Structure 1
């Protein structure tokens, strides 16, 4: 999956494809969040705090380490 670099304290890059959000953290860990719609992804990427937005997403979407 193609990811783009972001400006965040703990997130290095994010990508989205086929309702899956992929997040690479600055420590190198990569997680995929499943069932994330394109509109949810767009709201996430435009949020003022990616860390806070991700905390909301991980309460409603299943995720796993890649």
Structure 2
């Protein structure tokens, strides 16, 4: 099975870290971002297969980011 590159977007470090570690345990790659703006920059430069995103974040929240991505 091919490895997935999964974007983990959350402003809380502990949440990002724990989810990233769980993703790595499944044999996939976790790409962390602290907010929606960082997530968009990552999406412009890397192929991402899946996104886990928090809703409430500073700078650009999850809803705004999702609307921009769509």
Select the structure with the greater relative contact order (CA < 8 A; seq sep ≥ 6): 2
Same fold, judged at TM 0.5 (above): no
Name the structure where strand makes up a greater proportion of residues.
1
